[in-house]
């Protein structure tokens, strides 16, 4: 059985610290939210797309970045 949650590690786009975030796959196929870096406290925009097979495309970028 596939897990409904998955942890992702990424680098803060400001200070490059390694951060971990848990993604709830039941939250919809397209999700976006903002988290603060645990090290430099700057806002990081997280964008998640989940395809029909449950594969997650995860993007972390500076807030407001195109």
Q: What is the DSSP string of 23-37?
A: EEGGG-SEEEEEEE-
pLDDT, tens digit (0-9, with 9 covering 90-100), for 5-39: 889 899 999 999 999 998 888 888 899 999 999 99
Output phi, psi for 25, to 5 deg.
-70, -15
Count Cβ atoms below 10 Å from residue 41 Cβ, excluding itself.
10
pLDDT tier, 64 (very low <50, low <70, confident <90, very high otherwise): confident
- Burial of 25 by CB count in 10 Å (0-12 exposed, 13-18 middle, 19+ buried)? middle
Number of domains within the chain: 1
Domain that holds residue 25: 5-62
CA 31 – CA 3 distance, rounded (Å): 17
| 44 close to 65: Cβ distance less than 8 angstroms | no
């Amino acid at each position: 059985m596939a897990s409904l949650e998955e942890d992702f590690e990424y680098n803060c786009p400001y200070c490059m610290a390694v951060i971990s975030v848990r993604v709830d796959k039941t939250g919809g196929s397209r999700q976006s939210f903002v988290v603060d870096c645990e090290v430099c406290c700057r806002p990081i925009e997280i964008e998640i797309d989940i395809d029909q097979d449950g594969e997650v495309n995860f993007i972390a970028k500076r807030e407001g970045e195109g």
